A and B are shown apart, each in its own frame.
Chain A
Amino acid sequence: MTALHTSGLGKRYRRRWALSDCTLQIPEGRVAGLVGPNGAGKTTLLQLAVGLLAPTTGAITVLGGEPAGGPDQLAKVGFVAQDTPVYAGLSVADHLRLGAHLNPGWDDSYAQHRIDRLRFDPAQRAGKLSGGQRAQLALTLAIAKRPRLLILDEPVASLDPLARREFLQDLMEAVADQEISVILSSHLVADLERVCDYLVVLAASRVQIAGDVDALLASHHRLIGARRDEASLPGDQQVIHARHTDRQSTLIVHSRHPILDPAWTVEQLSLEDLVLAYMSQAADAAPGRRPVLEVQR
């Protein structure tokens, strides 16, 4: 079963395409990171996945169902929206009561336990919580409804580095305990690096690459050697990013096979390097000629 399946998905706001020609297949049971610069279409994709937006073109299914197609579908998917909205006038306890009334699968003991552990005052109004606490409350609501898939849109964007780390750690513990799939977005690779085992790079409203993190790292290489024309590389080596000085060439290439050419010094890429290479490729690419690459395990 796939957690998220899209084909030819596109969303247009008036004249601007926020997301175009998006074809993706994120398997269930993964923690998938959606990374890309601001305005790349991350929020649009996630809102399409929870049915807050309707697609302009293409199709999307989440856990095999139409997003927000009915109470069952809504129960299967937990969502923490950008800026983690909560009702400012309602107390923390009211929010838990809201969750209990509105979700048939609500796990009240988990929610209470989590609120205790986070040292929340149940009588406190949600409007007086800090950004980090608000995010934690929203996450509690989303997890306690016992979803099969948890979707988080930039959940840590407004948090300070410490709160960021705590939030993500906490998320990972919950995910490990309950065996739920996760899709979360961020514009920072560092946030995702620690937690994700699947990665989708979104830039310029298109999917640049998607795949298992280990497989992505194993199939991308940095080649450093004497200056050389990119066209002279073997056919199975695809150049993602190239930098040339007078004497030296530094290439980031995608290849399923090991690089055997002794003329190159081959280096392992970090996830951040890999993402940046695809982002700059998207930025350089002329409109209408943006290569889309899929890496599947």
Chain B
Amino acid sequence: MIWLTWRQFRTQAVVVAAGLSAFAILLLVTGPHLVTLYRDSALASCHSSCGTQADDFLTTVNSVAPYHLVYLLGALLIILLPAVIGLFWGAPLIARELESGTFRLAWNQSVTRERWLAVKLGVVGLASMAAAGLLSLILGWWASPIDQAATIQPVGGFENRFFPVVFGTRGIAPIGYAAFAFVLGVLVGLMIRRTIPAMGVTLAVIAAVQIVFPLWIRPHLITPVRNVSTVTVGNIQGLGVNPGNQQIQNVMVAAPGVPGTWIISNQVTTASGSTSLGTVPQACQGPLASGPQACFSALAQKNLKSVVTYEPPDRYWTFQWLELGIFLTVAVLLAWGCFWWVRRRLS
């Protein structure tokens, strides 16, 4: 059964493996240079308040080689990998057998269809997880100097690893996404029984999950820390004004906390908690000839509050494990659905 599974899977396996290998070679070739750049930068020897050094390092990275492009390409690949796996490994796995009638041949060999399904899910599922795990490992190694700098100072298009988009491209979470996407494709293929429509539905569901999960589910996995502080002259960074009615639209305040924090919301309210902050103070109108200080003092006197919710950086791996656990659990449930469907619905 393992032989048959491999024989039927090898073309798709080779195509994906070739694509990933080509990219992995690019990373392996350029990685050492990136490490050298880091070692030679001031950031390597800096121990506290290293914002400037991190900024300098990231600027260097952007200037010496198209590493920003490689960085983005890596993120794109690992974000697209679950979709590729779900579409080309998952959806056709059984849909094609149902479509061409070959399941009648397969299910009349001396192997029960449960075992047939178990081996297929097992072999291709493990291959999916291995592909995602290896890509994440190599990409994480390559980008580690950049991630380190971006954690201190997220500039130049680089973000810290807790930032929602980057989070899903590092660590162990991608393994969970791959397993989920694969089994989802298999189940959709089983239910729809035709390859192309199954691929379409699989793609739509994976894309929806990739958008919904980081935006609306991940922030609630662990209740974020809520930090309320007074807006002072010291922490005001800017002011947004609605030019129509001269109302304050928002006040930008420096987010508190240590580097590598995931800021979920950062809002300024009045002392009573209202988000309408009133009219713009006189000191902030017209050309600010004497600099912004007078304006900021006037704002500080309004007794505004800054409310920040965030996940501290030491929760990063808890979140990674949680995400892996959730997606693997869903994958197992979907696999159970595949067995149920093969046993009941197809006969």
Residues of A within 8 A of B (CB): 50-54, 68, 70-72, 74-75, 77-79, 81, 83, 85-90, 94, 97-99, 101-105, 138, 141-142, 145
Contact: A68 with B104, CB < 8 Å?
Answer: no
Collect the chain B residues with CB atoms within 8 Å of residue A53's CB.
347
Nearest CB of A to B89, in Å: 16
What per-residue 1/0 map shows which CB atoms of B144-163 lie under 8 Å from chain A? 00000000000000000000
Collect the chain A residues with CB atoms within 8 Å of residue B11's CB.
89
What residue of chain A has the Cβ atom nearest to residue B3's Cβ? A101
Contact: B105 with A71, CB < 8 Å?
Answer: no
Collect the chain B residues with CB atoms within 8 Å of residue A94's CB.
7
Nearest CB of B to A179, in Å: 19
Collect the chain B residues with CB atoms within 8 Å of residue A50's CB.
108
What per-residue 1/0 map shows which CB atoms of B323-334 lie under 8 Å from chain A? 000000000000
Collect the chain B residues with CB atoms within 8 Å of residue A83's CB.
101
Known A52-B347, A98-B4: A71·B110 in contact at CB below 8 Å:
yes
Contact: B105 with A81, CB < 8 Å?
Answer: yes
Q: Determine whether B69 belongs to the interface, using a CB cutoff of 8 Å to chain A.
A: no
Contact: A102 with B109, CB < 8 Å?
Answer: yes
Nearest CB of A to B87, in Å: 18
What residue of chain A has the Cβ atom nearest to residue B109's Cβ? A102
Known A54-B347, A94-B7: A79·B110 in contact at CB below 8 Å:
no
How far, in angstroms, from A104 to B112 measured CA to CA in the complex?
13
Known A81-B101, A85-B102: A52·B112 in contact at CB below 8 Å:
no
Known A86-B102, A87-B8: A74·B1 in contact at CB below 8 Å:
no
Contact: A68 with B112, CB < 8 Å?
Answer: yes
Collect the chain A residues with CB atoms within 8 Å of residue B109's CB.
74, 98-99, 102-103, 145
Tier of interface size on chain B: 20 to 34
Contact: A141 with B3, CB < 8 Å?
Answer: no
Question: Which residue in B4, B101, B102, B347 is a CB contact (below 8 Å) of A102?
Answer: B4
Question: Which residue in B4, B8, B102, B111 is a CB contact (below 8 Å) of A71?
Answer: B111
Give the 6 A-B CB pairs with smallest separation, nearest first.
A102-B109, A81-B104, A85-B101, A75-B110, A79-B108, A54-B347
Contact: A87 with B101, CB < 8 Å?
Answer: no
Collect the chain A residues with CB atoms within 8 Å of residue B107's CB.
51-52, 68
Collect the chain B residues with CB atoms within 8 Å of residue A103's CB.
109-110
Collect the chain B residues with CB atoms within 8 Å of residue A86's CB.
102, 105
Residues of B within 8 A of A (CB): 1, 3-4, 7-8, 11, 100-102, 104-105, 107-113, 115, 347
Collect the chain A residues with CB atoms within 8 Å of residue B8's CB.
87, 89-90
Contact: A101 with B101, CB < 8 Å?
Answer: no
What residue of chain A has the Cβ atom nearest to residue B115's Cβ? A71
How far, in angstroms, from A83 to B104 measured CA to CA in the complex?
11
Q: Which of A51, A83, A87, A142 has the most CB of B within 10 A?
A: A87
Collect the chain B residues with CB atoms within 8 Å of residue A99's CB.
109
Contact: B111 with A102, CB < 8 Å?
Answer: yes
Nearest CB of B to A241, in Å: 37
Known A52-B347, A53-B347, A101-B3: A70·B104 in contact at CB below 8 Å:
no
What residue of chain B has the Cβ atom nearest to residue A94's Cβ? B7
Nearest CB of A to B14, in Å: 14
How far, in angstroms, from A145 to B112 measured CA to CA in the complex?
15
Collect the chain A residues with CB atoms within 8 Å of residue B100's CB.
85, 87-88
Beyond contacts A87-B102, A138-B105: 11 other A-B pairs, Cβ-Cβ < 8 A, are A51-B347, A52-B107, A52-B347, A74-B112, A79-B104, A81-B101, A85-B105, A89-B8, A102-B1, A102-B4, A141-B105
